[in-house]
């Protein structure tokens, strides 16, 4: 089998499990595999498609309600941010973007992970949530990274496991649907990508379902450690793929 197909399948399996477990993270995990060799526009399209598929699967297997009061500002902000992200995609330096996200995750997440008592952020209310949602929308338009910043923000807000899962899962689902439609409309998705899309779906089905089953049996504290640990590993993987190229 062609090495590209192997890379796509392995990345989809790993990312599917993480998304099923945490409700987000497909893009970060998949990119840690695909960013090494796959063209940025192709990787972005595959990431959005795979993340959307995973969110649809998770929506039917892990139902935690919509948490509408918390969710609405994120979604409204995200809808405003997606067009900007899609517009930036063709002009973005993918190397600098990966480096920035990698540094953010690799530095900030361990601080949150090992802090014994994190202060909750209560200021800003719905406006601050909307701004974070807009940033998630921009990152989603760039490459399907809709859940990274909203997940960090929900953790700092002190949301419990089920509320955070409901916000992130429903936010990601709505953002990825709009992003995928934008990719199709603007020509980011092309016919020659369809065979790779067809590989992603079967590769991620079982791992995503498995991840949702693991989620059901874990505590709030374990969930928080898993989420922050996965974000940290994703950041390290992005830096590992980008820093050597920067110095070269």
**Predicted pLDDT at 28:** 74
The mean pLDDT of 18-23, rounded to a whole number, is: 77
**Predicted pLDDT at 140:** 82
Is the separation of the CB atoms in 63 and 210 below 8 Å? no
Report d(CA 240, CA 222) in Å as an integer. 27
Query: Is residue 96 scored above 90 in pLDDT?
Result: no
Annotate 192-221 with b (16+ C-beta within 10 A) or e (fewer).
ebeebeebbeebbbebbbebbeebeeeeee
Is the separation of the CB atoms in 100 and 106 below 8 Å? no
Is the separation of the CB atoms in 232 and 106 below 8 Å? yes
Model confidence pLDDT, tens digit, residues 152-171: 788 888 887 778 878 888 88
The mean pLDDT of 31-50, rounded to a whole number, is: 82
**Predicted pLDDT at 117:** 63
Model confidence pLDDT, tens digit, residues 108-118: 778 767 755 66
Query: Is residue 219 scored above 80 in pLDDT?
Result: no
Q: At what angle do helices 220-247 and 161-186 cross, to 10 degrees?
A: 40
Query: Is residue 226 scored above 80 in pLDDT?
Result: no
**Predicted pLDDT at 134:** 94
User: In terms of residue numbers, what domain contains 32?
Assistant: 3-247
- CA torsion sign, 32 to 198 to 139 to 153? negative
Query: Is residue 63 scored above 60 in pLDDT?
Result: no
Other CB atoms within 10 A of residue 225 CB: 13
Higher pLDDT, 233 or 11: 11
**Predicted pLDDT at 67:** 64
Please, what is the average pLDDT of the chain? 81
**Predicted pLDDT at 149:** 82
> What is the count of structural domains for the chain?
1
Range scoring the smallest mean pLDDT among 91-100, 169-178, 195-204 = 91-100
Model confidence pLDDT, tens digit, residues 71-85: 889 999 999 999 888
Model confidence pLDDT, tens digit, residues 5-14: 888 999 899 8
**Predicted pLDDT at 196:** 92
Enumerate residues 6+ apart whose C-beta is below 8 A from 64: 162, 163, 165, 166, 169
Helices (H), the chain: 3-22, 26-34, 40-61, 68-88, 94-114, 125-143, 148-157, 161-186, 194-216, 220-247
**Predicted pLDDT at 132:** 93
């Amino acid at each position: 089998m062609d090495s590209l197909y192997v890379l796509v399948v392995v990345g989809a399996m790993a990312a599917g499990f993480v998304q099923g477990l945490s409700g987000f993270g497909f893009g970060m995990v998949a990119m840690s595999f695909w960013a090494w060799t796959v063209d940025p526009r192709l990787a972005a399209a595959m990431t959005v498609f795979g993340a959307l598929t995973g969110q649809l699967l998770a929506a039917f297997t892990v139902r935690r309600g919509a948490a509408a009061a918390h969710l609405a500002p994120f979604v409204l902000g995200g809808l405003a941010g997606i067009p900007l992200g899609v517009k930036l995609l063709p002009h973005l330096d993918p190397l600098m973007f990966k480096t920035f996200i990698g540094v953010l995750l690799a530095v900030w997440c361990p601080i949150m992970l090992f802090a014994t008592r994190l202060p909750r952020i209560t200021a800003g209310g719905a406006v601050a949530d909307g701004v974070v949602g807009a940033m998630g929308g921009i990152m989603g338009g760039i490459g399907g990274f809709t859940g990274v910043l909203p997940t960090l923000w929900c953790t700092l807000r002190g949301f419990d496991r089920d509320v955070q899962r409901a916000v992130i899962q429903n936010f990601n689902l709505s953002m990825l649907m709009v992003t995928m439609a934008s990719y199709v409309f603007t020509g980011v998705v092309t016919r020659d990508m369809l065979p790779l899309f067809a590989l992603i779906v079967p590769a991620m089905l079982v791992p995503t379902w498995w991840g949702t089953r693991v989620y059901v049996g874990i505590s709030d504290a374990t969930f928080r450690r898993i989420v922050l640990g996965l974000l940290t590993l994703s950041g390290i993987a992005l830096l590992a793929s980008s820093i050597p190229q920067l110095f070269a």
